[in-house]
Amino acid sequence: MSTSPEAPPELGVPVEEADCPFRDDDIVRAVRSGSFGESEVPIGIEKSTETVELPRDEISFTLENGTETSFMMNTYRWSIWKRVGGDRFHVLPQFWNQPLMKLQPGDEHTWTVTINNGEKEGLFPAQGTDGDTVAGIGGGEYAFATEGWFEGDGYEKKTGFCTRFEAEGDDIELTPTEGAVAERDGDTVVVTEDEEPTDNTRLAAFVLTRTEETEDADRMIPEQAVRWNYHARSFNYRNALPFFEEGVETVRYETYDGTHPAFGVQEPHVIEYEGEFYRVSAEELG
């Protein structure tokens, strides 16, 4: 006599009601820690502290599977978001490896995020299955999120989990990298670095130009601009935005680039940064 498998649980609330930030459109339900009791939702994220103290601190997030069903997930796929002015902005990681893992009933997984705002390497993409050391985190409200699906469901019916925490400390200051050298000619600044080309790179320019306000601009915050841009393979925003002093209309960051198209810019577009609007474009120079 066979027994029927345990039906996958349906937990939390519809994702649009959860106030949780996710990048995946396949998430249909979500659980925000603190919104439900353990008897109501037997799986969720527990955090080690409510508040981290900048510039250096540590916080852990644990997902424990208290259900009777295995939870299919990717432990690389965690994310940190910042809330600014009512909107959520994805800060990190910028990409994930894609293995499929299984959190068995009764098992748990912990991510430990070490914040060290003085650690240069922490500005590169975080990619650990157990968390990572990160930098460039300013004071404010953040959220940690992850997702997966219960065995018996499919990846098109994911459940997401999130929890909030506060970072207490100063805002971050967007400053160029140590090797960046700027020369101004009228209303244009050209930023260069002392780099040598390789067989896989060619000289290119990442160009920001002041423009008029537009409704379809992508808003950017300092915690995003300060990071090594995975798609551009450089600190392109960090080496352009700080040079917009009074009277500067265009900043060109010229360096050896190995991405196609240059700096990962598919088409010119507009960003908003600290209330100012900039047209983003790129050129191959050689």
Phi/psi-derived region of residue 113, left when phi > 0, alpha when psi is between -120 and 50, beta in every other case? beta
Cis peptide leading into 222, omega within 30 of 0?
no
> First vs last Cα of the chain: how many Å apart?
72
Beta strand residue intervals within the chain, DSSP E: 13-14, 27-32, 43-47, 51-53, 56-65, 71-84, 87-92, 101-103, 108-116, 131-134, 140-150, 158-168, 181-185, 188-192, 202-210, 218-220, 250-257, 269-273, 276-284
Please give the single-letter amino acid code of residue 230.
Answer: Y
DSSP string over 50-113:
SEEESSEEEEEEEEEE-SSS-EEEEEEEEEEEEEETTEEEEEE-S------EEE-TT-EEEEEE
Residue with tokens 């240059």: 262
Closest by Cα among 270, 203, 219, 209 to 244: 209
Distance CA 214, CA 202 (A): 32
Residue with tokens 């008897």: 39
Topology of domain 13-168, CATH: Immunoglobulin-like (2.60.40)
The tens-digit pLDDT sequence of the chain (286 residues) is: 334 456 778 889 999 999 999 988 899 999 999 887 767 889 999 999 999 999 999 999 999 999 999 999 999 999 999 999 989 999 999 888 889 999 999 999 999 999 999 999 999 988 899 999 999 999 999 999 999 999 988 888 999 999 999 999 999 999 999 999 999 999 999 999 988 888 899 999 999 999 999 999 999 999 999 999 988 889 999 999 999 999 999 999 999 999 999 999 999 999 999 999 999 999 999 7
Any residues with CB less than 8 A from the CB of 266 and at least 6 apart, and which? none
The domain ranges of the chain are 13-168, 181-284
pTM: 0.92
**Strand pairing partners for 71?**
103, 150
